[in-house]
């Protein structure tokens, strides 16, 4: 089996080690003997991407400045990305890039960053940032139920789609709803950095399995020994749960 992974703008959108998501996916495939073909795409690169042959798209987060730097380039791929998502393509977008799949992102200084307008979702930034470690209970039915990460965003995001999870500790989409992320078909948008996938191996495997299911007749992955990854996950989950009491 093989997976074609499109790593988008990781030279610009890679705050708090989001590139770790790509490393985690690649390693977990390698350990299972699944071949990974990686294509890395940067701003200004000639776009001859063939989304029909892409099995997973990974996009990280970044400051407003970095978001503005990729936005024109990203917008050129709007229709390809929308088709890809509608055709059940697997896509993980973190924080700044998650925001850009919506209709609008207004930054704190009132500037708007052009967005893809794929989802009916709006993000409005405030001066006070939502920062810290975050613990959510995932809505995807993954075990363990918890997902851990780190968030740092001025943006407050509002939408009515399914969420990735409910916030136990931290903020998530905004400072009111106790909801985190957006889940639509195989699109996952989330505020969780960390990097997110290395300490949430169950989430990484969810993405790998869904990507493989789109091209092979399989319904499960070969289990890996995740003792170390789950120790990292549990350490943070327990610490945050204690802080809640």
Chain residues that interact with ligand GLN, rule: CB under 6 A: 15, 61-64, 67, 95-96, 125, 152-155
State the minimum distance, in angstroms, from the CB of residue 29 to ligand GLN: 26
Q: Give me the residue whose beta carbon is nearest to ligand GLN.
A: 61
Rounded Cα distance, 107 and 111, in Å: 5
Residue 115 a catalytic site member: no
Catalytic residue among 153, 159, 193, 233, which?
193
Q: Quick one: 68 exposed, middle or buried, by C-beta within 10 A (0-12, 13-18, 19+)?
A: middle
Kindly give, in sequence order, each residue whose CB lies less than 8 Å from that of residue 222, ignoring residues fewer than 6 positions away: 32
Q: Could you give the count of Cα atoms lying within 13 Å of 80 in the half-sphere of its Cβ?
A: 15
State the minimum distance, in angstroms, from the CB of residue 181 to ligand GLN: 13
- Give phi and psi for 241, each to the nearest 5: -65, -40
Q: How, if at all, do strands 2-8 and 56-59 pair? A: parallel
Q: Which is nearer to ligand GLN, 73 or 234 (CB)?
A: 73
State the minimum distance, in angstroms, from the CB of residue 189 to ligand GLN: 11
State the minimum distance, in angstroms, from the CB of residue 108 to ligand GLN: 8
Residue 29 a catalytic site member: no
Q: How many CB atoms lie within 10 A of CB 131?
A: 13
Residue of 50, 110, 45 whose CA lies nearest to 72: 45
Q: Which is nearer to ligand GLN, 155 or 198 (CB)?
A: 155
Q: Which is nearer to ligand GLN, 152 or 210 (CB)?
A: 152
Q: Could you give the count of Cα atoms lying within 13 Å of 239 in the half-sphere of its Cβ?
A: 12
Q: Which is nearer to ligand GLN, 125 or 147 (CB)?
A: 125
Catalytic residue among 29, 95, 202, 206, which?
95
Rounded Cα distance, 115 and 118, in Å: 8
Q: Which is nearer to ligand GLN, 61 or 172 (CB)?
A: 61
**Tokens, residue 228:** 């170390």
**Tokens, residue 77:** 């791929």
State the minimum distance, in angstroms, from the CB of residue 152 to ligand GLN: 5
Kindly give, in sequence order, each residue whose CB lies less than 8 Å from that of residue 2, ignoring residues fewer than 6 positions away: 34, 35, 36, 37
Instruction: Give the active site residues.
Output: 95, 193
């Amino acid at each position: 089996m093989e997976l074609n992974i499109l790593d988008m703008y990781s030279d610009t959108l890679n705050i708090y080690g989001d590139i770790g998501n790509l490393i985690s996916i690649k390693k977990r495939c390698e350990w299972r003997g699944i071949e990974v073909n990686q294509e890395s795409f940067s701003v200004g690169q000639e776009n001859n991407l063939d989304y029909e042959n892409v099995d997973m798209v990974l996009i990280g987060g970044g400051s407003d400045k970095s978001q503005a730097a990729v936005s024109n380039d990203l917008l050129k791929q709007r229709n390809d990305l929308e088709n890809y998502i509608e055709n059940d393509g697997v896509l993980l977008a973190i924080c700044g890039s998650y925001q850009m799949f919506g209709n609008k992102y207004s930054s704190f200084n009132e500037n708007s960053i052009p967005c893809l307008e794929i989802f009916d979702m709006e993000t409005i930034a405030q001066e006070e940032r939502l920062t810290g470690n975050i613990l959510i209970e995932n809505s995807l039915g993954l075990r363990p139920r918890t997902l851990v990460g780190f968030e740092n965003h001025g943006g407050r995001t509002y939408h009515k789609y399914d969420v990735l999870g409910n916030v136990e500790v931290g903020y998530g989409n905004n400072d009111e709803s106790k909801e985190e992320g957006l889940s639509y078909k195989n699109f996952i948008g989330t505020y969780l950095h960390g990097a997110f996938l290395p300490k949430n191996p169950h989430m990484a495997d969810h993405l790998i399995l869904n990507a493989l299911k789109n091209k092979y007749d399989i319904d499960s992955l070969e289990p890996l020994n995740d003792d170390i990854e789950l120790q990292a996950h549990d350490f943070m989950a327990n610490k945050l749960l204690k802080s809640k009491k």
